[in-house]
Amino acid sequence: PPPYTGVWMGDSKLCAIGVHCGNHITSHGLALNCCTDLTWFEHIVPCGLEGKGVTSLSHELGQHVAVSHVLKPFLDSFQEVFDCTLVSSEDPG
């Protein structure tokens, strides 16, 4: 919910996004909780947001969702949305 970044399911964050700028370098990334052990978040204030929680695809869907199940559709969607071609460091050439 605005003004918070990321992907939310109600008051719980499903996906965190971030940008870091420093030493003339900009990096960015995301963390999509697929089958994360959510008990670890009971010991911290996730993303510094009091009163907000963290969730995962597995928790929300009531079944195990492995990263391997999500990776290809996620990357396909990324390429479509950003009109780009992703290249793996494992690809030859």
Is residue 47 annotated as a catalytic residue, yes or no? Answer: yes
- Which one is catalytic: 15, 21, 47, 84? 47
Q: String of b and e for 63-81 (b: at least 16 CB within 10 Å)?
A: eebeeeeeeeeeeeeeeee
Q: How far apart are CA 93 and CA 9, in angstroms?
A: 41
Q: How many C-beta neighbours within 10 Å does residue 55 have? A: 20
Active site residues per annotation: 47
